Amino acid sequence: MMPATGTGSGTWAQQCPLCGQRNGCAVAQGLPAAQCWCMTADIDPQALQRLAPAERGQRCICPACGSAQPDPGASPNRGD
């Protein structure tokens, strides 16, 4: 599905593709990416895998869906 215009993507971009709630993405709100919650949160890789391929990299998920869940047996993916 393609947006009809370039001006109507704000609401869409601000919705979590998993649950439909506001994702709180700073970029979608026109704010610097450094202010986005995802910059300081641990995103659950499994949540990202639930995204449709077409959604990946297009929309942010919300904190509720993206929060890393305790997963015994999984090795923590430590970034910097």
Binding residues for Zn ion, per CB under 5 A? 16, 18-19, 62, 65
CB of 5 to Zn ion, least distance (A): 25
Using the minimum distance from each CB to Zn ion, give the nearer residue, 36 or 65. 65
CB of 19 to Zn ion, least distance (A): 3
CB of 80 to Zn ion, least distance (A): 26
SS (H, E, C) the chain: CCCCCCCCHHHHHCECCCCCCECCCCHHHCCCHHHCHHHCCCECHHHHHCCCCCCCCCCCCCHHHHECCCCCCCCCCCCC
Using the minimum distance from each CB to Zn ion, give the nearer residue, 10 or 50. 50
Using the minimum distance from each CB to Zn ion, give the nearer residue, 9 or 51. 51
